[in-house]
DNA sequence: GTGGTCTAGACCACG
DNA sequence: GTGGTCTAGACCACC
């Protein structure tokens, strides 16, 4: 089985977040579809060389969001129903912060819109 | 002088981060222009009902990013030169995460593009 | 584990600066090499008899300079890549001030050159 | 009378220190010799566009070091005798910090020695 | 008046 | 165990 996830050690965010973000991205892009089995915690921890607890924390967060379901003794699977979305307020806040950073970095509005379209396209292709 | 900043107590991020993000956003949207004075640490701390140190930490972070300059005994001012931007990799990562959340929340691609355009417009109007 | 740092209480600079300077010096002299773990904040604070926050501030400064990397729950380590240096202008300014002080103290040019050579040698031996 | 001093607004140090450092440097390089009159506080403050108190603070510091003598109603003059030097410990500390920064910036030992010799030569020519 | 430093101690996040 | 955040309040440095 090929390695599903890769994380960037230079990315300063907590490891469990990077793992959760990767999986979330794969689900959003339909690389992982409802009913698909996720790799075991052990498998991912081994692949990435991180602590079991760290991966378990990521799974717990995804379960809390309703994106996956975990059952004792069985592999976690991607949840069937799309979960209740986070409040729109939080989503806009995250988006606004990302856009602020781009503006401060000197990106023009049109360039940003192109970038967004690119990223959305890549999401659906499972691109990285 | 009207209150410049508002922060959301339900937003779970550190207070100093929320303060820094607000100011960063105001600078990106040109509500605060190079050379403009920022409110004093005491002023903001009083308005928000938080500790002086918490606001000072936000200012220190912004100074570290080169967005503002702080001098002993004088008000902090918005820096003239735009600082070196964060590596494009980090910017894209932040953007991608925001977009992933929106997709998972069920937003359609076209709706997302509209939302992004809206947010960019609001940034430049100092909207919240 | 022997005590790594010593600071001079008669030195009027902020404690966190003295701590940061010591560590910077140890890195420059390769007593601390890329990948090496730094003592924990608690360890240093205990050794020096200062507050945890004071040491944490020093670590945060060094991290901001890119000299060390800090991750939640793990020891701080000396960064692998050398960070972008401060502008040469600032470096020369610092050097010039030091030299001015020496000249005013009556040191001869040749004595100063000898002193500089000595200090460079000691840096690389981890001397204090 | 030509403007004697120039200070760099981008230099983050306190203004009074930059003024004092400039004058110290001019004395060390013998551009200002024992018995020479210094510009009035008012003059310098006007030239630099800073507060009178700020310049007065610089003069007070130089007087405290014995480098200049100020008398009520009369111009400050450069002191005749070289003052007692700061303890060698402090001088070496300042020098070491400057050298540490250079080493961290990747300067080679030989390049540093050349730089030091250059700076000493410029000091005596009143170079900036 | 401005911002900076330090302390004490509580609590949280991470691995 | 590690480091991070926040608070309270004191005192200092600067303009």
Measured in angstroms, the CA of B11 and the nearest CA of chain A are apart by 8
Check residue C6 and give its pLDDT: 87
Is the C-beta atom of A14 closer than 7 angstroms to strand E? yes
Beta pairing class for A68-71 and A74-78: antiparallel
> Count of alpha carbons within 13 Å of D115, Cβ hemisphere only?
21
Q: Are A95 and B116 in contact (CB under 8 A)?
A: yes
Nearest CB neighbour to D98, from listed C8, C11, C95: C95
With 0-12 / 13-18 / 19 or more C-beta atoms within 10 angstroms meaning exposed / middle / buried, residue D35 is exposed
**DSSP string covering chain B:** --------TT--S-HHHHHHHHHHHHHHTTSS-TTPBPPPHHHHHHHHT--HHHHHHHHHHHHHTTSEEEETTEEEEE-SSPPPPPPHHHHHHHHHHHHHHHHHTT--HHHHHHHHHHHHHHHHHT--
In this predicted model, what pLDDT tens digit does every residue of D42-92 receive, in sequence order? 989 988 989 888 999 999 999 888 899 888 778 889 988 666 666 688 889
Closest nt to residue B73, judged CA to C1' = E2
Check residue D102 and give its pLDDT: 94
Is the C-beta atom of C73 closer than 7 angstroms to strand F? yes
The residues, ordered by sequence, that sit 6+ positions from A119 with a Cβ below 8 Å of its Cβ are B92, B95, B96, B99
CA C50 to C1' F13, whole Å: 21
Is the C-beta atom of D61 closer than 7 angstroms to strand F? no
Give the bases of strand F that a protein CB approaches within 7 Å: 1-10, 13-15
In this predicted model, what pLDDT tens digit does every residue of A19-54 receive, in sequence order? 999 999 999 988 999 999 999 999 899 889 898 899
Per DSSP, chain C holds a count of helices (H) and strands (E) of 5, 2
What pTM did the predictor assign? 0.87
Range list of H helices, chain D:
15-28, 41-48, 52-64, 88-104, 109-125
What average pLDDT does range A88-94 have in this prediction?
Answer: 87
In this predicted model, what pLDDT tens digit does every residue of C65-112 receive, in sequence order? 889 999 888 899 999 877 666 778 889 999 999 999 999 888 999 999
């Amino acid at each position: 089985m090929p390695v599903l996830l890769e994380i960037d050690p230079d990315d300063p965010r907590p490891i469990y977040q990077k793992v959760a973000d990767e999986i979330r991205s794969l689900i959003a892009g339909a690389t992982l579809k409802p009913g698909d089995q996720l790799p075991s915690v052990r498998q991912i921890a081994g692949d990435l060389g991180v602590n079991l607890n760290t991966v378990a924390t990521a799974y717990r967060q995804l379960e809390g969001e309703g994106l996956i379901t975990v059952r004792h003794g069985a592999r976690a699977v991607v949840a069937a129903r799309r979960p209740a979305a986070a409040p729109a307020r939080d989503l806009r806040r995250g988006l606004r912060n990302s856009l602020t950073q781009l503006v401060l970095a000197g990106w023009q509005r049109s360039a940003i819109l192109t970038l967004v379209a690119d990223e959305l396209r890549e999401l659906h292709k499972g691109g990285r």
